[in-house]
Amino acid sequence: MKSINFEEHFVLKEVQEQMSQIIQPSKNGVPLKAMLEALEHQTGFTNEDEINQHEQRIKFMDEQNVQMQVLSYGNGSPSLLSGDKAIELCRYTNDTLKKYIDQYPDRFLGFATLPINEPEAAAEEFKRCVNELNFKGALIFGRPNGKFLDSPEFHTIFETAEALDVPIYLHPAPISDEAYQAYYQSDQYSDATAGSFACFGYGWHVDVGVHAMRIILSGIMDKYPNLKMIIGHWGEFTPFFYERMDETIYAPKLKHKPSHYFKNNFFITPSGMLTKPQFEMVKNAVGVDHILYSADYPYIQPEELGTFLDELDLTTEEKEKISFKNAQKLLKL
């Protein structure tokens, strides 16, 4: 069964080189070099995210019955920058991705890279990417400098997404220096252990779950009731706590309980975490109509991507919804 996969990444070497010159690693933050070395050690990942690694990408897709990847920028996204450089590099990234998609229109779709620290410019770039480049949504990598997207200045991005009727994918990025120092750094284990713990092993997933909750609790979903969002990694810890949230969080200004927004405004993907117990939990929490499929390529390259859904207790219709029909409906394909 052919699938449409959502959390699939690329980078541009020329953008990465500029990013490395602009952003210097913080001595108090996540040790990025050690973190990436840990990723390579654990998964074998090297440079497969570079957009010119086309043959490797297509080989994986064909082997795993992936009909289409929805491409979004990966590690070191220019969306993390501020000012004119952020706007310039995000626009360049989107234009370059469009050229790549145009070469293989039956295999790839695009999510926009937005200069989120410049919200008005981000909204305008969002419109351009959807209306002129035919992108199908946007992926927001991490969160704005020192803030979350529930701050009022970022509401224009949500307003734009609702007006365009396209989804926003809320994606992890390295956590703040303060959070790293308080929760993850320790002299009892190595920087590589701390970096992987703080990022892809645990920490940045919690960060996205908190981010999603702040968006809900701030009333953004009530203000923009048709807003559609996506979160990966089986919901970034949130499905396990829906009932607890509903019972204990005091939020009298909301029109509904917190779980209502997760079940109606959010879609959830596995991000390559192909495990039956987590799938069953998410299926029970949100239903098959709000589950999408993803590998998190190339950072994760699950060998069972093409067969996982067949191993579950699902009807043919349910497998088709998760594999491609939900995506077709959400992206209006």
CATH for 119: 3.20.20.140
Tell me, what's the pLDDT at 20? 87
Peptide bond into 167 cis (omega under 30): no
Low-confidence ranges of the chain (pLDDT < 50): none
| Whether 285 contacts 263, CB under 8 Å | yes
Pick the closest to residue 71 from 88, 57, 87 (CA basis).
Answer: 57
Tell me, what's the pLDDT at 156? 98
Tell me, what's the pLDDT at 27? 85
Tell me, what's the pLDDT at 44? 66
| Whether 2 contacts 65, CB under 8 Å | yes
Tell me, what's the pLDDT at 272? 95
| Whether 26 contacts 20, CB under 8 Å | no
Count structural domains, the chain.
1
Pick the closest to residue 224 from 261, 259, 249 (CA basis).
Answer: 261
Separation between Cα atoms, residue 183 and residue 122, nearest integer Å:
32
Enclosing domain of residue 318: 3-331
| Whether 296 contacts 257, CB under 8 Å | no
